[in-house]
Amino acid sequence: MSETVLDPVVPRFSIIVPVFRVQGFLRECMDSVLAQDFTDFEVIAVDDCSPDRSGAILDEYAARDERVQVLHLPENVGLGLARNAGLEKIRGEYVLFLDSDDTLTPGALGALAERLDATGSPEILIFDYARTYWDGSVRRNLLADRLDESGAPSFTLAERPEILDLLQIVWNKAYRRDFVEEHGFTFPVGYYEDAPWTFCTLITAKSIAVLDRVCLHYRQRRQGGNILRTTSRKHFDVFDQYERVFSYLDAHPELSRWRPHMFRKMIDHYLTVLDKPGRLPQNATAEFFHRAARDYRRRLPAGFVRPAGVAGGKYALLAKDAYPALAGLKVAGKVQRTVRKHAGKKVRQAKKKAMDLRYQALLRQPLDENLAVYSAYWNRLPACNPLAIYEKAKELAPHIHGVWVVKQQLADSGEIPAGVDHVVLNSPRYWEVMARAKYLVNNVNFADGVVKREGQVHLQTHHGTPLKSMGVDQKRYPAAAKGMSFRKLLARADRWDYSLSSNQHTTEQWERVYPCNFESLDAGYPRNDVYYRASAQDVLDIRERLGVAPGKTAILYAPTMRDYQVGYVPRLDLEKISRELGEDFVLLVRTHYFYDQDARLQELQERGAIIDVSGHPVVEELCLAADALVTDYSSIMFDYANLDRPIINYTDDWDTYVRSRGVTFDLLSGKPGDTPGVLATTEDELIDAFRSGRWDDERATELRAAFRARFCQWDDGHAAERVVRRVFLGQETTPEPLPQEERTVAPAPRTAAAAAGLIKLPAPRAAADDEVTGAAASGTSDSSGVELAG
């Protein structure tokens, strides 16, 4: 077990955070702790051999904050034993437990410290929590009245036994360390490990206090994240946990008064497991019931009075070991609930039309194990990550036949490359391949009407690294949401088996904003493979097709769309930019694909001010052709960074963009890893960046390197291969990404032109001489002093 070491100062709080497969939520958890205004604490973060990058995230925090101590366990031991590992390292006066997908509320630690002082340092302080949901709603604990602070500052459980009605978990309490150590409290293995700890500590404590304040937000994961929701025989562990509770009572006869209370909690817990759908395998329910009945008879205290109502009826059935009667009671209850649910509803509109009978019939036919369906950008032409995967699958998995989904107008246009099998959206063959294909690959989502069959594999490749907020985060930004149904969005994401990512930032974002049960595929973006495979001649050929002469400095201007605007609204006077930079520069202008062709751009092109490349089908070719990229907030910057060429961000409306759309990090911070290069907020600043040479100076190069290291993490030219091997061939995700220093990127246009003898590169100049005048440059050299050959 590896660990970092802290100094011997005793903090007020030790916060134990067990960590396993939570990389999408872990930063929020850690930030909620480290941002507390009360700072006298230590964090013992226990990496329970998490298979994702949670451990690396913890190491980042430990490197930045000495209060964070990280334990990396050599094998996965489960929640209880991971907490025990943390307990061995604590030094604080009080210990808190925080699950790694939950968060502390602002000011929580300060409030806890203040209440501990006010109540005379009790052995246990119980505080309140609220459940938080994916849709942003927050619901406080319904039994918050049990935390009434009136009366004695501290008390025993005998004085306020109603405390046992609270949800008995460990993370809503602060425990005095000497109390825990004196009694040797530890966590057991298995499910429901909180039960022995919470009950044994509460009945033992001589002083308990309460804090009527929400100090913790308990994340209700929409899917996954809670093993208690999984169907498993591991739920039988609950019997062992209550065996431990009663063994503790046996060893402490002075606590015998609590036997009836523990009996009631035990039986209620057993009945909860029985009543919760999906916890027990169907063939194990009767067995569980009979074991519960045995414990009932074995542990029944003398004089015990059953609760009233339905609950008391279930107690009676357990006492008689009458499983068939309980099963009948559950069915009757379900029917009754269904009747109540529908009785008060108004008459609704007619139901949606039944699914096409032919599609239903196709869904009953066997899957075609050798068929894959591809789509990109809402059924436009083959492109992006799906196209790169399609091409690589033809090479590595030729037995899998690929079919593309396209719109009718594209099928009629003749633009689809020869030899590419395709179907028209909503045509009979479309429904056939959607029903029977083993693999479905898309960089957006397939239509709501597509049924995810058992055995089908959905690969969501996405189409960019997210700077802007996505998924459920968009709920906070009405301009971005635009009436979006987030329940439908997540229902579509529920179909994903794999979610592709090119860097850790993206993986964490997708796992957080799409709270579904997919597997993150950290393979890189296949569309970026070309940046590591293109040759110098490829670069020159693309520029020639675009009409960019050798020696010209081509600037690709590719802005993104604005949620707060309708249609394409030019943010730059492109004619002015072209004129001021001079004839040695050429602007390649590409509007966002959401916008139709713009007549103003066509007019500028006709006057020779720009080259309009909005309709060019392959954006990767435009990046290869460009000497530099000017963009705003478009995800193209993350892809272009692979080429290690200058990036300039024109951010004249950053504040408005952030307010209307939201962002995942501060692009304008100027910090390495956040900002890819020069920033400009006015046209004059943008022009000056090129004229002065700042666009490609030492500072810009340093920023670009850090940005590339962060966001081109797994892009190395082999992403498509990794995807095909993992998804289509069931192999390991290989080869491992190359270290950045070992990657060979496509040559820059000037380097390619020089290698071909088309231009001569100047000798290196001192920084003091590196002035770029642009407009004053001669006709035989570009703004960097490149001379034309011959």
Per-residue pLDDT tens for 746-778? 999 999 999 999 988 876 544 444 433 333 333
The CB density around residue 76, as the number of other CB atoms within 10 Å, is 14
Q: Residue 148 half-sphere exposure, CB side, CA atoms within 13 Å?
A: 7
Q: What string of DSSP letters covers 183-202?
A: HT--PPSSTTTHHHHHHHHH
pTM, to two decimals: 0.85
Tokens of 470: 């996505």
Banded pLDDT at 779 (limits 50, 70, 90): very low
CB 703 within 8 A of CB 681: no
Banded pLDDT at 2 (limits 50, 70, 90): low
Round to the nearest angstrom and report the end-to-end CA distance of the chain: 66
Tokens of 773: 């005048």
In this predicted structure, the answer to whether residue 192 has a pLDDT above a threshold of 90 is yes
Banded pLDDT at 93 (limits 50, 70, 90): very high
CB 772 within 8 A of CB 691: yes
Q: Which parts of 11-123 are beta strand (E)?
A: 13-19, 41-47, 68-72, 94-97, 103-104
Alpha carbon 687 to its chain's center: 38
Helices 237-251 & 194-204, crossing angle to 10 degrees?
Answer: 20
Residue 19 CA to residue 86 CA, distance in Å, equals 11
Rounded mean pLDDT, 84-101: 98
Residue 83 CA to residue 97 CA, distance in Å, equals 8
In this predicted structure, the answer to whether residue 356 has a pLDDT above a threshold of 80 is no
Name residue 585's beta-bridge partners: 553
CB 208 within 8 A of CB 127: no
Tokens of 200: 């044994």
Residue 769 CA to residue 590 CA, distance in Å, equals 34
The predicted pLDDT at position 8 comes to 57
The predicted pLDDT at position 591 comes to 85
Q: 66-70, 222-226, 486-490 — which is least confidently predicted?
A: 222-226
Q: 346-355, 544-553, 561-570 — which is least confidently predicted?
A: 346-355
pLDDT digit string, tens, across residues 502-532: 999 999 999 999 999 999 999 999 999 999 9
pLDDT digit string, tens, across residues 719-747: 999 999 999 999 999 999 999 999 999 99
Contacts of 193 (CB under 8 A, 6+ apart): 78, 79, 80, 83, 187, 241
Mean pLDDT, the chain, rounded, equals 90
Identity of the residue numbered 596: D
Identity of the residue numbered 72: H
The predicted pLDDT at position 282 comes to 87
Residue 12 CA to residue 15 CA, distance in Å, equals 10
Q: 51-65, 69-83, 312-326, 644-658 — which is least confidently predicted?
A: 312-326
Residue 665 CA to residue 674 CA, distance in Å, equals 7
The predicted pLDDT at position 549 comes to 92
The CB density around residue 492, as the number of other CB atoms within 10 Å, is 22
pLDDT digit string, tens, across residues 194-215: 999 999 999 999 999 999 999 9
- The number of helices, as runs of H, and strands, as runs of E, in the chain is 29, 25
